[in-house]
Amino acid sequence: MDGQGFVSMAALQMSREWLGIQQFPPATQSKLLEILGKYKEEDVSSLTVVVMGKGGVGKSSTVNSVMNEKAAAVSTFQSEGLRPSLVSRSRSGFTLNIIDTPGLIEGGYVNDQAINLIKGFLLNKTIDVLLYVDRLDVYRVDDLDRQVVNAITDAFGKEIWKKSALVLTHAQFSPPDGLNYDLFVSRRSDALLKVIRAGAQLKKHEIQASSIPVILVENSGRCHKNDNDEKILPDGTAWIPSLVNTLTEISFNGNKSIHVDKKLVDGPNPNERGKRLIPLIFAFQYLLVMKPLVRAIKSDVGRESKPAWEVRDSGSANRRS
């Protein structure tokens, strides 16, 4: 890179040229460039995508597939560190930032530490798109899925789900006996979307207003390819362009991007909560609790009949004095 390049790089804060895009097969390249053109038309210079999901579902692999380079470290059997990583690539003035996050599940529960790290990492950034990643070839939805969705909702607010897509990896998969592929995909995605909707606490009309799109992904090197050498899904669509296309749709879907600020990260200040109620409660206590009590005590004292010896004692004391 020459001097000019160096300057531009410094300006773009670590965002490198998106070289991987040139490695794509020509068909994919042209589609991608077309999509990027759309951004130019809208005068948007960057897009920030956050990838989240359970561990081992293929988040980092998806990032790598999209960037078409080994941007994030992938290890099959070990979990990577807890730190989220930002992969930022620019192409003709448009920057695509993808934030890869660690798996949110650790030992059977949601890893709060990971969530906090992600929050801290995203501080003062704007999330344009959230990709919630899970595997297609899993049959059941369990409580962990719910917990993960809830954790994301708690951390970034339910609005984030309006800017999200469900990514199902391992899409090149033959479903179990008696099910065809499309049916399986739809049932699997429905099951997951149900969980997401429940976890996001979206209201009915909101659900109708913004349906969460489903993206199928196959990161494996054995992914089938079509004549144009594009990676395709079992149904024949090239998935990388369609993924990027969906990203674009989401970013333009009219909902506001999520800006992660201090308030969102720290959550509501517990000291502020219910402050206004304090005088009310005080008044309530004074009028309805203390007053009757004092009255009751006094009436008790008045009604007391002293035992004989006390009367005698006090009498003798009076005499003495």
Partner 1 sequence: MGDGAEIMDMSHGEEKKLVVDRISDEQVEKKELVGSVDVRDIEEEVFEEAIGSQEVPKTESFETEDLPLEATPENSKAEHEVVDLEETSSDERGLKDLKVDYSVVGESHGEVNVHDITTKEAEPDFVTPKMNDGKGEAGADISYGQTESSSGAVENSEKTTSNGSSLAAEDVNMENGNIHSFSENGIVSLENKELVPEGVSVSAWSKETEENVHVSAGIGTEQEVGEGKGTTKNCSEKGLVCTDNESGAQKNGETSAVFSSVKSASGDKSLDDSIEVAGAGTSSPLEKSSTEEKGETVGHSSSGFPGVTSREHGTVQNSNGGHDVQQSLQPNKELENQLGSRVDIEPEITESPHVEREFEVVSSVSPTESRSNTAALPPARPAGLGRAAPLLEPAPRVSQQHRVNGNVSHNQPQQAEDSTSAETDEHDETREKLQLIRVKFLRLAHRLGQTPHNVVVAQVLYRLGLAEQLRGRNGSRVGAFSFDRASAMAEQLEAGGQDPLDFSCTIMVLGKSGVGKSATINSIFDEVKICTDAFQMGTKRVQDVEGFVQGIKVRVIDTPGLLPSLSDQHKNVKILKSVRAFIKKNPPDIVLYLDRLDMQSRDSGDMPLLCTITEVFGPSIWFNAIVGLTHAASAPPDGPNGTALSYEMFVTQRSHVIQNVIRQAAGDMRLMNPVSLVENHSACRTNRAGQRVLPNGQVWKPHLLLLSFASKILAEANALLKLQDHTPGRPLAARSKAPPLPFLLSSLLQSRPQAKLPEQQYGDEEDEDDLDESSDSDEESEYDQLPPFKRLTKAEMAKLSKSQKKQYLDEMEYRSKLFMKRQMKEERKRRKMMKKFAAEIKDLPNGYSENVEEERSEPASVPVSMPDLSLPASFDSDNPTHRYRSLDSSNQWLVRPVLETHGWDHDVGYEGVNAERLFVVNESIPISFSGQVTKDKKDANVQLEMASSIKHGEGRSTSLGFDMQNVGKEMGYTVRSETRFNSFRKNKAAAGLSVTLLGDSVSAGLKVEDKLMANKRFRMVMSGGAMTSRGDVAYGGSLEAQLRDKDYPLGRCLSTLGLSVMDWHGDLAIGGNIQSQVPIGRSSNLIARANLNNKGTGQVSIRVNSSEQLQLAMVALVPLFKKLLSYYSPQQMQYGQ
Q: How far is the CB of 179 from partner 1 (least distance, A)?
A: 6
Residues 54-83 that bind partner 1 (CB under 8 A): 55-56, 61, 70, 74-79
Stretch that binds partner 1, among 104-112, 203-211, 236-244, 267-275 (CB under 8 A): 104-112
Assess 221 for contact with partner 1 (CB under 8 A). Answer: yes
Candidate list 12, 44, 191, 207; residue touching partner 1; CB under 8 A: 191
Q: Which residues contact 39 (CB under 8 A, 6 or more apart)?
A: 45, 47, 94, 248
Residue 46 β-bridge partners: 95
Token digits for 300? Answer: 């008790």
Show the tokens assigned to 183.
């049916």
Q: Which of 109, 252, 282, 284 binds partner 1 (CB under 8 A)?
A: 109
* Binding-site residues: 56-61, 75-80, 170, 218-219
The pair phi, psi for residue 79, each rounded to 5°, is -85, 140
User: Which backbone phi and psi does 257 adopt, to 5 degrees?
Assistant: -65, 155
Min dist CB 229 to partner 1, Å, is 16
Q: Alpha-carbon dihedral of residues 21, 24, 26, 29, nearest 10 degrees?
A: -40
Q: Is 180 in the site for partner 1 (CB under 8 A)?
A: no
Mapped onto helix, strand or coil, the DSSP state of residue 62 is: helix
Q: Do residues 90 and 17 make contact, with C-beta atoms less than 8 angstroms apart?
A: yes
Residues 145-174 that bind partner 1 (CB under 8 A): 147, 170, 174
Q: How many residues bind partner 1 (CB under 8 A)?
A: 39
Q: Segment 29-58, which members bind partner 1 (CB under 8 A)? A: 55-56
* Among 66, 73, 58, 57, CA closest to 88: 66
Least distance from C-beta 38 to partner 1, angstroms? 31
User: Which residue is associated with the tokens 């993206």?
Assistant: 215
- For residue 212, give Cα distances in angstroms to 26, 85, 123, 163, 307: 30, 25, 25, 8, 81
Stretches 8-16, 133-141, 228-236, 258-266: which one binds partner 1 (CB under 8 A)? 133-141
Q: Which span sits near partner 1 by CB under 8 A: 7-15, 100-108, 245-253, 304-312?
A: 100-108
Residue 185: CB minimum distance to partner 1, A? 12
Is position 176 an interface residue for partner 1 (rule: CB under 8 A)? yes
For residue 88, what are its two tokens?
A: 């930022």
Query: Per-residue string for binding with partner 1, 265-284, x by CB under 8 A?
Result: --------------------
101 binds partner 1 (CB under 8 A): no
Looking at the DSSP bridge assignments, the partners of residue 100 are 51, 85
Q: What is the DSSP string of 131-176?
A: EEEEESS-----HHHHHHHHHHHHHH-GGGGGGEEEEEE--S-PPP
For partner 1, which stretch binds (CB under 8 A), given 25-33, 157-165, 215-223, 313-321? 215-223
Q: Which stretch binds partner 1 (CB under 8 A): 29-37, 43-51, 84-92, 180-188?
A: 180-188
DSSP 8-state code for residue 58? S
Report the interface residues with partner 1, using CB under 8 A: 55-56, 61, 70, 74-79, 103, 105-109, 135, 137-140, 142-144, 147, 170, 174-177, 179, 184, 187-188, 191, 219-222
